[in-house]
């Protein structure tokens, strides 16, 4: 009887293990499929854009933050950068520090935010800061863990378009 009970318990545990496995779809490519369920193995956190028709991607990964600004509401920030601040980078424009920072004031979740009205974006090249003159950010998904969307904006010297992101939210 003891062996039979042990076999039933083992079988029950095995059934529980099999039925508890998640077989739902996951997102291995957030650029083309902005699912709110990332693939835990191939998580593609990204932020990229075309800057004056040259492809750019953030490395290390971008991050998004919500900041409670008291009576001014919630501010959403997204930052991504690439490159280092070294003397060699000042001499080599291909590895110079490049960063995009986006701030949305009075953030309300997914939707379209017009820059220079509801927020601002800045493109930083080395030590030069280039604030947006116009553009928009579209938040397509915000599940509290990850945020995704698209962006484009222009500065006096740069045009940033085809931007998209999928970033962890802190």
Q: In the predicted model, what is the mean pLDDT of residues 124-139?
A: 94
pLDDT grade, residue 127 (50/70/90)? Answer: confident
Full-model pTM: 0.69
The 10s digit of each residue's pLDDT in 54-113 is: 999 888 778 898 888 777 788 999 998 886 544 444 445 555 678 999 999 999 999 999
Q: Which residues contact 102 (CB under 8 A, 6 or more apart)?
A: 76, 77, 78, 79, 119, 120, 121, 122, 137, 151
The 10s digit of each residue's pLDDT in 7-16 is: 333 333 333 3
Contact 102, 47 (CB under 8 A): no
Using DSSP's 3-state secondary structure scheme, residue 115 falls into: strand
Q: Which residue has the higher pLDDT, 146 or 36?
A: 146
Confidence check: pLDDT of 25 > 60: no
């Amino acid at each position: 009887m003891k062996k039979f009970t042990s076999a039933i318990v083992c079988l029950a545990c095995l059934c529980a293990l099999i039925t508890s496995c998640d077989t739902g779809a996951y997102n291995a490519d957030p650029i083309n499929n902005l699912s709110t369920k990332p693939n835990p193995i191939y998580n593609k956190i990204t932020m990229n854009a075309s800057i004056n028709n040259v492809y750019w991607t953030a490395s290390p990964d971008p991050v998004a933050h919500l900041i409670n600004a008291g009576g001014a509401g919630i501010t959403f920030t997204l930052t991504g950068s690439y490159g280092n601040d070294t003397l060699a980078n000042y001499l080599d424009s291909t590895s110079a520090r490049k960063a995009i920072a986006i701030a949305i004031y009075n953030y309300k979740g997914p939707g379209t935010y017009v820059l220079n009205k509801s927020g601002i974006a800045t493109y930083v090249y080395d030590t030069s800061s280039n604030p947006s003159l116009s553009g928009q950010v579209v938040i397509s998904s915000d599940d509290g863990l990850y945020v995704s969307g698209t962006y484009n904006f222009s500065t006096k010297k740069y045009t940033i378009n085809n931007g998209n992101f999928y970033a962890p939210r802190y």
